[in-house]
Amino acid sequence: QLAKDPYRPIMHFTPPFGWMNDPNGLVYINNEYHLFYQYYPYANKWGPMHWGHAVSADLRNWQHLPPALVPDEKGMCFSGSAIVDWCNTSGLFDNESQPGVLAFYTACIGHDDGRDSEQMQSLAYSKDGGFSWNKLADNPILPNPGLKDFRDPKVIWHEQSQHWIMVVTEGQEVGFYRSSDLNHWEKTSNFGLNEGKHDEMPWECPDLFPILLEGSKVCYWVLIVGVQRCSHAGGSGTQYFIGQFDGERFINHHDAQTVLWLDYGKDYYAAQTWSDVENGCRTSIAWMSNWLYANDVPTQAWRSAMSAPRDLKLSETQSGLRLLSSLPKQWLNERNTIISQDKTLNAGDSFAIFQNYHAGILDGMLYLGRGSSISISPLGNECLTYNIERNENNIIITTSRKVGDDGEDNYTDMFSHESSLTIPDSDLLQFTLIIDRCSSELFLQDGEYCFTDLSFSLEVSSIEFCCSTGKGVLESLKFFE
């Protein structure tokens, strides 16, 4: 299988065949995580959108299911969300033995003659715990108010105001709506003009959730939005805002110019969090690609993987309030540690960790002296490198990526990149690196800084560390294959 399909990840979710983009409808019910996704099963390029479907009890092993929603005369099924209708607020689930599940999606009618598509919010319901779905006969539930871009509804329950809230893309902003019956929606406000990062494209795929500041009882609200063309590393990326939400409007805690990124790599888009998770944990997943080249990367039977799932927490860091990402515990336990050691590297030294499957998780601490720099090539070749440089007052992390050696070059222009991030000075850097055939996710400083990058090269061997100046010490290294 490795020879036939060398890029297919082992640990990350991929569609069985065909095209995938955004995660959709993330909902937890009956001890299972449902993952729906933007899906075109008939080719490895974007096409008329379905909702693909899979379930997992542990966020590691996924079972593929038939597509949940398919396009019809009312449009394609664009991105959206799902919730459990515990109290049958929608009135759609009389006499059912288990609570109903609702999916909110954008029905999108495309036109071949160059006219703008028509986008409106629609509802589908499931009476069997999320496995089979019907679309509401009276769709849409929220017609288009006259906007070119009106999509990606995320619906949540707002405890304080006892209302359901929908946050949805409205051009370069998001709109907030509220409802008491999940069918009729009243607009309450917009957020976004002049806030955070913008380009000429609409914001996409919003998410909204409350979160406690770690170690306190103080509650903040987080608003996630995707930008298509102006992320930190270029192209598509995911920014977030921290603030307050009173059931009607979102107030940014930072000034409007502050830009916060969930990830600084080039392949982390359309992140969404699971609804109805019991322990209050905020678990997210994102599409591991970028609209700049997603249709052209050199995989054949399938195209695009999801990121590793991430648990989010809110912390007061050296830089202020930030979301920190970590792997869910199911991704870390029961694994074989194949190495466990410390290693000192002086200028000119390098150190490689070899493994069999080219998929695994490396965890450790890096001590870097002032004036020292170390580079990590996570996929064992020169195509993708993180260079970490400690200066007098700060640390600079530079990601460089170039196209691999497999002869495919139609994605070259947009794929190569180099971008840098400056972070506060520190003697020790905690890191977790997740590699999986064609992807690398580096979490630094307990996940305050994440870098997700694809890299396609058939020349695959090891994780390499190389010290170019000064001295670096790798401590408590653990590799889980």
- Catalytic residue of the set 22, 149, 436, 453: 22
- Smallest distance from ligand FRU to CB 245, Å: 22
Pairing of strands 471-480, 384-390: unpaired
Residue 20 engages ligand FRU in binding (rule: CB under 6 A): no
- Smallest distance from ligand FRU to CB 431, Å: 29
Residue 284 CB-density burial (10 A; 0-12 exposed, 13-18 middle, 19+ buried): buried
47 versus 247: smaller Cβ distance to ligand FRU: 47
| 61 phi/psi in degrees, rounded to 5 | -105, 120
149 versus 464: smaller Cβ distance to ligand FRU: 149
Q: What would the two tokens of residue 47 be? A: 């096409």
- Smallest distance from ligand FRU to CB 199, Å: 13
- Smallest distance from ligand FRU to CB 152, Å: 5
Looking at residues 243 to 282 of the shown chain, list those that interact with ligand FRU (rule: CB under 6 A): 270
Cβ 130 vs Cβ 27: under 8 Å: yes
Q: By rule CB under 6 A, what count of residues binds ligand FRU?
A: 12
Residue 355 DSSP SS3: coil
Residue 19 DSSP SS3: strand
Residue 38 engages ligand FRU in binding (rule: CB under 6 A): yes
Nearest to 222 by CA among 204, 244, 201: 244
- Smallest distance from ligand FRU to CB 270, Å: 5
Residue 21 engages ligand FRU in binding (rule: CB under 6 A): yes
Nearest to 293 by CA among 46, 8, 77: 46
Cβ 176 vs Cβ 249: under 8 Å: yes
Quick one: residue 277, left, alpha or beta (phi over 0 = left, psi -120 to 50 = alpha)?
beta
78 versus 268: smaller Cβ distance to ligand FRU: 78
CA atoms of 12 and 276, how far apart (whole Å): 23
- 22 annotated active-site: yes
Nearest to 26 by CA among 35, 38, 14: 35
Looking at residues 114 to 153 of the shown chain, list those that interact with ligand FRU (rule: CB under 6 A): 151-152
| Mask for 355-394, x = binds ligand FRU (CB under 6 A) | ----------------------------------------
Residue 375 DSSP SS3: strand
CA distances from 290 to 90, 101, 127, 400 (A): 36, 30, 35, 16
75 versus 129: smaller Cβ distance to ligand FRU: 75
- Smallest distance from ligand FRU to CB 387, Å: 30
Residue 248 CB-density burial (10 A; 0-12 exposed, 13-18 middle, 19+ buried): middle
Residue 286 engages ligand FRU in binding (rule: CB under 6 A): no
269 versus 331: smaller Cβ distance to ligand FRU: 269
270 versus 368: smaller Cβ distance to ligand FRU: 270
Residue 284 engages ligand FRU in binding (rule: CB under 6 A): no
Q: How many CB atoms lie within 10 A of CB 86?
A: 12
81 versus 355: smaller Cβ distance to ligand FRU: 81
- Smallest distance from ligand FRU to CB 383, Å: 25
Residue 170 engages ligand FRU in binding (rule: CB under 6 A): no
Buried b (16+ CB within 10 A) or exposed e, 400-417: bbbbbeeeeeebeebbeb
- Smallest distance from ligand FRU to CB 77, Å: 9
Q: How many CB atoms lie within 10 A of CB 16?
A: 11
| Residue from the set 79, 284, 289, 439 that interacts with ligand FRU by CB under 6 A | 79
Residue 106 engages ligand FRU in binding (rule: CB under 6 A): yes
| Residue from the set 14, 20, 22, 92 that interacts with ligand FRU by CB under 6 A | 22
Looking at residues 180 to 219 of the shown chain, list those that interact with ligand FRU (rule: CB under 6 A): 204-205
Give me the active site residues, please: 22
What is the contact surface with ligand FRU in residues (CB under 6 A)?
21-22, 38, 49, 78-79, 106, 151-152, 204-205, 270
